[in-house]
Amino acid sequence: MSKRTMARHAILAAAAYGAAQAAWAAGYQLELQSIRAQGSSNAGSAEAADPSAIFYNPAGLTQLDSSQLTVGADIVVPHSAFSGSTATRNDIFGNSAPVSPAGGGGRYAKTAVAPHFYLAHRLNEQLTAGVGVYAPFGAKIKYDDDFAGRYYGSAIDLKSIAINPSIALKLSEQHSIGFGVTAQYMDAVLEKKLSFVSSEPDSRIRVTGDDWGYGFNLGYLFTPTPDTRIGVAYRSFIKHTLRGNARYSVPGTPVSQLVKGTGALDDSDSSVDLTTPETLTLHAYQQLDSRWAIMGDVTWSRHSRFQSLVIEMPTAQDPDRKATDKLEWKNSWRASLGASYRLDGQWTLRGGYMYDHSPVSDSRYAQPLMPDSDRQMLSLGASYRIDEHNTVDVAYSYLKFKEAAIDRSANNYDGSSTDRPGTLHGRYRSHANLLGIGLTHKF
C-alpha cells in the first residue's frame, strides 16, 4: 500500500464518521417549543391556548381571543455515561490494535438552552397571523481526550433557528385551517481524532458548515363543541447542504508529518446534504368540566430518509474526494397523554407522559456523538395568571433514555472492507432534566 493510499484511507474514515454524527444531530428534534406544551409532555397541541400554535398546529391561532406574545426558554441538563467499552484502532499500515487510553469520555453531554418567541395578531374574527422563532434541532457533545470512541467522533456543536410566519383562517365555528412557511438556519461544528500509528499523538479533524433551508407547515382544527378540539398538522422536510471547511491539526511527529506531506490532509472546503424529517401529527383536547381537561398527541416522523450520508471534501489533487456511511434509520413515532386542572382563577396545573420511539433500532448503526434510543418523559407544569394581560408558565420534565448499545464494526456488515477507523463496543446510559419558564402577554 502506497503512502498516498494509506493517507487517503485515513482521511476517508475521518470524513465518513464525522459526517454521520451531523446526520444524527440534524434528525434530533428538541420538541421544546412551548413551556405550556412541555408541562403536558407535548400532549396539548390541540389546546391552542397561546401563539405557540404556530409550531404545533397553525390552525389553532383562530382559538386566540386577542393578539398575544409568548416568550420562553428551556435549560437542558443532560447526564450521560459510556461504559463497558472495547475499542480497536486501525493504523495506516492496516494493523489493528486496542485503543489506548480508552476512557468513558467523562461528562460529555453539555448543558444547553433552547429559547422560543411567538407573536400572533388577530386581524379580524376570521383571520389571525403570526410568526414564531424557535430552535428545532440541536446537539452539544464534547468527550474527554481519552474517550475510547474518539476515532469515530469527539465533539459536536449543532445549532439551529427557525423563523416561521403563519396565517390561520376560521372557516366556520367548527372548522379552521392554517398555513406557515419556515426559513431554517443550521450551523454545525464536528470534531474527531485521527491515529496513524499508536506511538504518536492523535491528530484532529474539525469540520464546519452552515446553511439556510426552507419548508412549510399546515394544519386543520375541528371544533365540534366549545369543549372539544381535534386537529391534524403536517410539517414538511427541509433540505440542507451544509457548506464550510475541513481543517486538520497534525502533530510534528515523523509519521504524522509523512502522511501530511502526501496532501491527503490538506485543508479543504466541505459539504454534506442533510434533510430534516417531515412529521404528521394527530391531536385532541377535551374539556371535561370547569376544572379538568385531558389531551393527547400522536406524531409520526419520516426518519427513513437517512439511509446513508455522503460528505464531500474536494481538493486540487483529488476533486472527487468523498466518503459514505450507511445509517439505516427507520420511521418513528411519538405518543403523549396529558391533563390539566384549573385550581382557581389564577393557577392551572398540568402533567403528562410521553413515549418516543427511536429511529435507530440497530446497535451496528449507533453513533458515538449523541447515540439515540427510545425515551420516556414525565412532566409537570403550571400557569399563573398575574392579571388579565400576563400569564407565567413553568414546566419541569424528566427525560429517560433506554440503555443503548453501540457495536461499530471495522468492516461493512456484509463482510466487505471499509475505511472505518476500527471497532467500538459499549453501552450508553442517559437521562436529562429540563426546566422551562415562559411569559404570555395579551394585548
Evaluate if residue 419 carries a pLDDT over 60.
Answer: no
Kindly report, residue by residue over 86-142, the tens digit of the pLDDT. Answer: 778 777 777 777 887 788 888 888 888 899 999 999 999 999 999 999 999 888 889
Residue 70: pLDDT band with limits 50, 70, 90: very high
Range of the domain at 330: 3-442
Helix axes 3-26, 254-261, angle to 10 degrees: 90
Q: Give residue 375's pLDDT.
A: 92
- pLDDT category at 436 given cuts 50, 70, 90 is very high
pLDDT tens digits, 255-285? 888 888 888 788 889 998 888 899 999 999 9
Check pLDDT > 90 for residue 343. Answer: yes
Q: Flag whether the pTM goes above 0.85.
A: yes
- Segments in 249-354 forming alpha helices (H): 254-261
Give me the percent of the chain exceeding a pLDDT of 70: 89
- Angle value at C-alpha 432, between 332 and 32, nearest 5 degrees: 60
AA letter at 302: R
Q: Averaging pLDDT over each range in 74-83, 90-99, 335-344, which range is the top one?
A: 335-344
Q: How many CB atoms lie within 10 A of CB 81?
A: 15
Q: pLDDT band for position 11 (50/70/90)?
A: very low
CB atoms within 10 A of CB 414: 5
Lowest mean pLDDT among 26-30, 78-82, 354-358, 412-416: 412-416
pLDDT of residue 282: 98
**Mean pLDDT of the residues in the chain:** 86
- Could you tell me if 424 and 404 are in contact, meaning their C-beta atoms sit under 8 angstroms apart? no
Q: Alpha-carbon distance 215 to 235, whole Å?
A: 8
CA atoms within 13 A of residue 35's CA, in its CB half-sphere: 29
What are 236's three cell numbers?
414538511
The answer, yes or no, to whether the previous bond of 201 is cis (omega within 30 of 0) is no
- Please give the residue that has the higher pLDDT: either 423 or 242: 242
The pLDDT of residue 30: 64
Q: Look at residue 17 in the predicted model and tell me its pLDDT.
A: 36
| Percentage with pLDDT > 90 across the chain | 52
Residue the block writes with cell 439505516: 328
Q: Do β-strands 175-194 and 228-235 pair in parallel, antiparallel, or remain unpaired?
A: unpaired
Torsion 325-423-99-6 (CA) sign:
negative
Per the structure, the count of domains in the chain is: 1
Judge residue 251's burial from the number of C-beta atoms within 10 Å of its C-beta, 0-12 exposed, 13-18 middle, 19 or more buried. Answer: middle
Q: Pick from 272, 359, 333: which is nearest to 15 by CA?
A: 272
pLDDT at residue number 13: 37
Q: Between 139 and 169, where is the model more confident? A: 169
Nearest CA to 352 out of 30, 111, 54, 47 is that of 47
Which pLDDT score, from 0 to 100, does residue 302 have? Answer: 92
**pLDDT at site 299:** 96
Report the distance separating Cα 304 and Cα 242, nearest Å.
20
Query: CA-based angle 386:392:398, to the nearest 5?
Result: 145
d(CA 38, CA 42): 5
| CATH assignment of the domain containing 346 | 2.40.160.60
Looking at the chain, how many residues does it have? Answer: 443
- pLDDT (0 to 100) of residue 27: 36
